Amino acid sequence: IDANLCLSDDPSDKPPCRGCSSILVEPYIKCAECGPSPFLLCLQCFTRGFEFKKHESNHKYEIMTSDFPVLEPSWTAQEEMALLEAVMDCGFGNWQDVAYQMRTKNKEECEAHYMKNFINNPLFSSTLLNLRQIEEARTADTAIPFKRQPTFDSLLSRDMAGYMPARADFMEEFDNYAEWDLKDIDFVDDDSDILHALKIAVVDIYHSRLKERGRRKKCNGLIQLKILRILERRYPKEVQDLYDAMRRFARVVGPIEHDKFIESHACAKVYERVKQVREDERRKRTMLVDVLQYIQDGRACQQWLSKQAAIDAGITPVVTTITTSGRRCAPPLNLTGLPGTEKLNDREKELCQVVRLVPGAYLEYKQALLNECRRQGGLRLAQARALIKIDVNKTRKIYDFLIKEGYINKA
């Protein structure tokens, strides 16, 4: 392994990753086929199958690390270089400072190793001169062929069903043991006609199994994963996320049906957004009608403006007791001493005061609506009115209050 690439401790001396330009940290990857300048990748870019110009993700590679012994089994190449740098920085003989800079060896070990291998060793010069040649010869014979796969039972492995996109191949072939039926077959001249025909039939069966293996590789365009990714980038981010979530269902329908399925869900989301915009516009028009009604009554207009200011500030507005026609509404109900008041929170007490409903009746109506909502999975206003036989305006206020507070939800 090249000492200039692996053994320096100074981050500024280390080459950057060709994929993300980050400073390389051992261990990292060197392409065994790209050259003459080294093509280096960090482990993250390597696992993603990074490709650039002539470099392809299926090239053979070498693992660049200095975690191997050179002169003694207990000293790695990284420690050898660190010892030499520490002696150059601290000076020969300052073994305490050398050991402090080394951190992995004490001063006695540093002194003994340096004196044995770099001072008293007659082969010292030839050892250093031949170090690079020895390592280059060793790594040239042990270059690892590219073979990367997702972690077993990982999310990627489950989504891709063992497919390795960087190699355009599967972690395990379909009908992986089909060749076992052929390994002991041998055609000889003294075979009987029946035995010869039987062997031919076994070979034909094997060929059909190979065809099925190839067909499954092409199923649903899985081999063209990169092309599918490029095509999906044309869609908005929401549609891309929908494709990722629904990809596992593509195997049960054809490609056209799957695209229609995705488009229908995307259209549903667009409809929900448009519906929300329409509801906002309707509320604004209702607000404008209220303003036009109140504008003819100065006192009522002032109360309405105060109510809107309280809503904007997140404060519960004061209940208006004057109608647009100038008629005075009934005063709030006094709950003092009424049974069940202690079971209400402040907002429920305010509701009972406004709608002039005694706490015991409110609690009974609330429990009935909760039970019906749980049974139906939701509740509509019409169902609430059919369930509670009181004034429809009071029912609506109770229904809206329970919806707002989260006790029930709309059907």
Phi-psi sector, 173: left (phi>0), alpha (psi -120 to 50), beta: beta
Percentage of the residues of the chain whose pLDDT score is greater than 90? 2
Please return the burial class of 43, using the count of CB atoms within 10 Å of its CB with bins 0-12, 13-18 and 19+. Answer: middle
pLDDT exceeds 60 at position 205: yes
Give the residue from 288, 240, 283 showing the smallest Cα distance to 262: 240
Q: Which two tokens stand for residue 47?
A: 């696992």
Cα distance between residue 109 and residue 80, in whole Å: 12
Phi then psi for residue 105, to 5 deg, are -135, 150
| Higher local confidence (pLDDT), 311 or 165 | 311
Give the pLDDT of residue 401: 92
Which segment of 136-150, 165-179, 186-200, 322-336 scores lowest on mean pLDDT?
136-150
Contacts with 206 (C-beta within 8 Å, 6 or more apart), sequence order: 178, 179, 181, 182
Cα distance between residue 226 and residue 243, in whole Å: 14
pLDDT exceeds 80 at position 301: no
Q: What is the mean pLDDT of residues 319-336?
A: 61
pLDDT exceeds 60 at position 293: no
Cα distance between residue 74 and residue 218, in whole Å: 52
pLDDT exceeds 70 at position 328: no
Percentage of the residues of the chain whose pLDDT score is greater than 70? 69
Q: Which two tokens stand for residue 230?
A: 């490029």
Cα distance between residue 183 and residue 285, in whole Å: 81
Q: What is the mean pLDDT of residues 138-144?
A: 50
Give the H/E segment covering residue 291.
helix 255-294
Give the pLDDT of residue 284: 73
Question: How many angstroms separate the most distant Cα atoms in the chain?
Answer: 117
Mean pLDDT comparison of 315-329, 330-344, 393-407, highest-scoring range: 393-407
Give the pLDDT of residue 1: 42
pTM above 0.85, yes or no: no
| C-beta neighbour count of 280 within 10 angstroms | 10
Note the helical H segments in 9-144: 43-47, 77-90, 95-102, 107-114, 124-141
- 61-64, strands of its sheet edge to edge: 40-41, 28-31, 61-64
pLDDT exceeds 70 at position 369: yes
Cα distance between residue 285 and residue 267, in whole Å: 27
Give the pLDDT of residue 146: 42
Cross-strand bridge partners of residue 328: 322
pLDDT exceeds 80 at position 406: yes
Q: For residue range 227-269, list pLDDT tens digits in order.
A: 666 766 777 777 778 777 887 777 677 778 878 888 888 788 7
Q: What is the DSSP string of 135-147?
A: HHHHHHHSPBPP-
Query: Residue 366 CA to chain centroid, in angstroms?
Result: 42
Question: Residues 406, 366: contact at Cβ < 8 Å?
Answer: no
Give the residue from 254, 227, 221, 228 showing the smallest Cα distance to 243: 228
Cα distance between residue 241 and residue 222, in whole Å: 18
Matching residue, tokens 């039972």: 153
